[in-house]
Amino acid sequence: MTTTLLDTSKGIVEFTYKGSGPPVLLLRGGHSTRNTDLSHSSLIYEGFSLLTISRPGYDYTELSTGRTPEDFADTIIEVLDHLDIGKVQVISISAAGPTGIALAANHPSRVKRLLLEAALVTPWDNATKRKAALLFGPAEKMVWRSLRTLLKFFPDLAIKPLVAELTTENAEDYLDSLTPNDRRFIMDMLATSQSGKGFITDLAHDIPDMSRVKVPVLGMYSTKDRSIPYSNALLLKSSLPDCEIYEVNADSHLIWIGKDAHTVWNKRLEFLDQT
């Protein structure tokens, strides 16, 4: 995929901008790289242009562009100005939740609506922070290299520990329920993942004041998500009473696969197609 590096006032930002039609800004979640696609690239074929900006610490985007969600939201505005984009619809995935909220709260004239997909709106718990510091700090390159080797020769051994962190269901039962396409989705996701310095930075993010968000908001969450618990959806609704919460019938954090995947896709399009 062809990417662009923009030298902003705070450092280098990597982005891609493809398609034609109303612009949609995609902010990927934790561990996701330029090559990680959770189905959103297909928005191009639905008549949208897709602007994907790598967050600080991921790909070639430098940490100096925004160590806080608010600071990176300001940098995003520089990218929009560079591309002569007035307003965007924003999709924030998982750990990108705080950035999407900061963008909508601090720059309401540039955001048309905000879609939060299994997105974090509560602080990380201390246990998660401690575990992540061990796995995705200085050792993160070795961790991902080892996982990809395991994925190549013993895929189930690589996938099982991951899904155990993503579902409240029994991990073995969850694996057994996966279709071949769902299994391929997970393997592709793992094969393209890399934390860089991004995920450790994500863990330090505070949650912006959600009550300042005045644009339409849709949150899509699963009650069986272990990594981003459904309490995030409840807090979002209590902070923004007018937002819509869609409870996805998914068995894990991965709301983009499984029996309700088609509904997630249709719900996303319905929200983005609003006038």
DSSP character string of 128-143: HHHHHHHHHSTTHHHH
Is 70 part of any domain?
Answer: yes
Q: Clarify whether residues 187 and 252 are in a common domain.
A: no
Q: What is the rounded distance in angstroms from the CA atom of residue 122 to the CA atom of residue 106?
A: 18
Same domain (yes/no): 90, 45: yes
Question: What is the per-residue pLDDT for 264?
Answer: 98
Does residue 176 belong to any structural domain of this protein?
A: yes
Q: Of the residues 191, 219, 246, which one is the last residue of a structural domain?
A: 191
What pLDDT does residue 226 have? 96
pLDDT of residue 28: 98
- Residues 105 and 219 grouped into a single domain: yes
Whether residues 112 and 231 share a domain: the answer is: yes
Q: 131 and 184 share a domain? A: yes
Same domain, 82 and 107: yes
Strands 88-93 and 111-117: parallel
Say yes or no: 131 and 116 in one domain: no
Flag whether 201 is in a domain: no
Domain count, the chain: 2
Same domain, 22 and 112: yes
Using the 3D structure, point to which of 147, 165, 191 is the last residue of a domain.
191
**Domain assignment of residue 166, yes or no:** yes
pLDDT truncated to tens, each residue of the chain (275 aa)?
589 999 999 999 999 999 999 999 999 999 999 999 999 999 999 999 999 999 999 999 999 999 999 999 999 999 999 999 999 999 999 999 999 999 999 999 999 999 999 999 999 989 899 988 889 999 999 999 999 999 999 999 999 999 999 999 999 999 999 999 999 999 999 999 999 999 999 999 999 999 999 999 999 999 999 999 999 999 999 999 999 999 999 999 999 999 999 999 999 999 999 97
- Say if 199 falls within a structural domain: no
CA dist 208 and 99 (Å) reads 8
| Segments forming the whole domain that contains residue 161 | 126-191
- In this prediction, residue 74 carries a pLDDT of 98
One domain for residues 162 and 226:
no
Residues 41, 49: contact at Cβ < 8 Å?
A: no
102 and 44 co-located in one domain: yes
Is residue 91, in this structure, part of any structural domain at all?
yes
- pTM for the whole structure: 0.96
| Same domain? 116 vs 139 | no
Query: What's the pLDDT at 1?
Result: 58
- Please choose, from the candidates 76, 77, 18, the residue with its C-alpha nearest in 3D space to the C-alpha of residue 50: 18
Same domain, 12 and 107: yes
